[in-house]
A and B are shown apart, each in its own frame.
Chain A
Amino acid sequence: MSQTMQSIDIKNLTKYYRGNEKPAIDRVTLGITEGHIFGLLGPNGAGKTTMIRILCGLLTPTEGQITIGGYSLKSELAEIRKIIGVVPQEIALYQSLTAHENLAVYGGIYGLRGARLTDRIDEQLQKFGLEKSRNVQVGRFSGGMKRRLNLIVGLMHNPRILFLDEPTVGVDVQSKNVIIESLKDINQAGTTIIYTSHYLEEAEVLCTSLAIIDEGRIITQGSLDEIKKENNSTAKLEDIFLQLTGKSLRD
């Protein structure tokens, strides 16, 4: 795969947390191809969130070089912020603001204004079935509605690269279906998606490439077929996951 096709290029990424002798991320080298839905999977404490936080510019790596969309994370963070969208696991919304107000604030930060902003808000609310609740305070939303709105915020500026941390956790089947289908549409439109989840079946259906991380190291990566081939298995992703990461409980 050529270098120009890489949406994200990670070389020798290492992260130590203060007071820990063991690295949270240990010399990871990884390329994420533009236009892919990349699934970053791993047990609790494996280093998924640390990796996503580093890629979003929320944590500074101890070592390593990262380029995102052709920009250096170290020196061009401001440019990277313009082209990425982030959907955190938490419902990162202002509960006392309405759906419209939340989207207007976040969309405005990305530079959307006037009719363009209003049109984008209307379009996204309709797409995710929230148009009737546009003027309702988010605090009164159900869990599924909040999760959908949480996703819309990350999509407001039509990002080139979208980071999703457990986007379907705790939602009903209907909401989950809307989210998954929307992610496929967004990807079809050209957005690269980096996605973490504990739902391996969901990852199996959605992702075009995967990596399994454990104890800060990438233990396997590639398309689902490549991973099965590499591990001499025809079983489901969950079986390969357990085979690679073990069955012992994680904190």
Chain B
Amino acid sequence: MRILFRLAYKDYLVIVRDRGGLAMLFLMPLALVLIMTSLQDTTFRAINESGIKLVILNGDQDSLGTAIEQEIIRSNFFNVRHEIDNKPPTEKTIRDAVATGKFQIGMIIPAGATQHIRDQVKNNVASLFSGDSVELPPADSLIIRMYVDPATKNSMRSTLQGSIREFAARVESQIILNELTREINNHLMVPVANLNRMNRETVIYKEEYVARGDKNAIPNSAQHNVPAWTLFAMFFIVIPFASAMIKEKEDGSLSRLLTMPGSYATIMFSKILVYLVVCYLQFISIMMMGVYLFPLFGLPALEIAGKMTSLTVIAFAAALAAIGYGISVGTIARTHQQAAIFGSISVVILAAVGGIWVPVFMMPPFFRVFSSASPMNWGLNGFYDILVRNASLTDVLPYGIWLILFSLFCVLISLYYHKFRKEFA
């Protein structure tokens, strides 16, 4: 224990004397979190707070136009406007507004759209009840025009198209049933009730967010970026950590330590202790920024009340995983270049795959399979569950256990490699 604390004191002094390294460990992650959250906040608001700006010119003002408009508003994906620069829109101003980026989508429902469907149906039904075996005339199509900013996601376009088709079909079927009722009543002695009474939804599609505790919760930019970039910062200590180990190898300090009482495991454990504190301070500083500083920048505040114990457990487990990874890179790499290049690239890959930059649900299915192989993904899922879904410590413990097992695996690999080098170098 005496040796462990002496070594830990040495590692502490080495870290605090390296001001550039300290800045890299603390200031850069803070700057990164702030910048990334600010950049992504608009996107997250778009999902959370009807952020896609859509201007609509509803020339119909009848069943079809009203139904489409109401559904768009109800979807919560869009920020619906009926004016451009405080003026009623025209087809030209809508087109210009989308082209210049004022709106992402412009929609024009033509005047008399509902009446157009009604007339078409009336003619068709009358033709069917006339007893003539004539072919129905070709449909005179109704055009609902949509102007779309190319940057708008396909999913948003699909949502709009689906809504329009669905409501056009629903309005059309209502009109068909009304017309059928009228024709049947004309031909039968006993009047029948309006067939629209049958027009009820027999299959209801119901969707809800599955969450422990607070259901329907969606992460905001703070809830995603704070844990995501905390994990990234923790894993990025692989580079200074491995560099410190290689420096000790190159200047002979490690060899000297290995001729003294203690073991390689003791030397590594002292580093784990010190860097665990570093990681925890990173975690605390980034969390505090999310709680207190984000609102000053107009970003959503991170809410951590009552969640600190669970968050701390996951943070410690993630820190152990990051340090374990650092030990293995530092043990196996022979030069600073090897450690820096392999360390940084592998951490960036683990971050990308793990959903740090792009949330996993937005990834192609092929990559989703790999995301669960990244320890950063385990940590992120743990943080998500706590922050977004109010999960308890017991709920997120499996993530913590996986992270600790990963750390153990890395440390064991390093100890084995060290022994191998000693015997067979």
Contacts and interface: CB of A to CB of B under 8 A. Distances in A.
A58 to B, nearest CB: 6
Given A89-B252, A96-B17, A109-B3, A58 B258 contact: yes
Interface stretch (B4-12, B193-201, B231-239, B336-344): B4-12
B18 A96 contact: yes
Given A81-B261, A97-B14, A111-B2, A92 B423 contact: no
Interface in A59-88: 59-60, 78, 81-82, 84, 86, 88
A98 to B, nearest CB: 9
A92 B256 contact: yes
* Chain A contact patch, size range: 20 to 34
A56 interface: yes
B269 to A, nearest CB: 14
A246 interface: no
Contacts of A105: 6-7, 9-10
A60 B422 contact: yes
Interface in B238-280: 250-253, 255-262
Contacts of A90: 250-252, 255
A109 B252 contact: no
Interface string A123-165: 0000000000000010000000000000001000000000100
A108 to B, nearest CB: 4
B257 to A, nearest CB: 7
Contacts of A96: 13-14, 17-18
B259 A94 contact: no
Interface residues of B, number: 26
Nearest to A94: B14
A247 B13 CA distance: 48
B346 to A, nearest CB: 26
Contacts of A108: 2-3, 6, 9
B425 interface: yes
A242 to B, nearest CB: 30
Nearest to A19: B424
Interface in B179-215: none
A58 B14 contact: no
B425 A109 contact: no
A58 B261 contact: no
A116 interface: no
B17 A97 contact: yes
Contacts of A111: 2, 261
A58 B419 CA distance: 10
A58 B2 contact: no
Contacts of B256: 86, 88, 92, 106, 153
B259 A57 contact: yes
Nearest to B16: A96
B260 A110 contact: yes
A94 B261 contact: no
A18 interface: yes
Given A97-B13, A109-B3, A57 B253 contact: no
A109 B6 contact: yes
Contact of A18 (B7, B13, B252, B424): B424
A137 B251 CA distance: 16
A65 B354 CA distance: 51
Nearest to B256: A92
A97 B7 CA distance: 13
Task: Please indicate which of the listed interface residues A92, A97, A106, A110 has the most CB atoms of chain B within 10 Å of its own CB.
Answer: A92
B255 A109 contact: no
A96 B251 CA distance: 13
A110 B261 CA distance: 7
B259 A86 contact: yes
Given A91-B251, A92-B252, A59 B422 contact: yes
Contacts of A94: 10, 13-14, 253
A97 B13 CA distance: 7
A59 B423 CA distance: 6
Contact of A91 (B18, B252, B258, B260): B252
A136 to B, nearest CB: 13
Contacts of A101: 10, 13
Interface in B381-418: none
Contacts of A56: 255, 259
Given A57-B258, A58-B259, A81-B260, A93 B253 contact: yes
A109 B423 contact: no
Interface of A: 17-18, 53, 56-60, 78, 81-82, 84, 86, 88-97, 101, 105-106, 108-111, 113, 137, 153, 163
25 contacts: A53-B255, A56-B259, A58-B258, A59-B425, A81-B259, A84-B259, A86-B259, A90-B250, A90-B255, A91-B251, A92-B253, A92-B255, A92-B256, A94-B253, A96-B14, A96-B17, A96-B18, A97-B10, A97-B14, A108-B2, A109-B3, A109-B6, A109-B262, A137-B17, A153-B256
Interface of B: 2-3, 6-7, 9-10, 13-14, 17-18, 250-253, 255-262, 422-425
List 3 tightest A-B contacts by C-beta distance, closest first: A90-B252, A92-B252, A96-B17
Given A90-B252, A91-B251, 10 more contacts: A56-B255, A81-B262, A86-B255, A86-B256, A90-B250, A93-B251, A97-B10, A97-B13, A105-B10, A109-B261
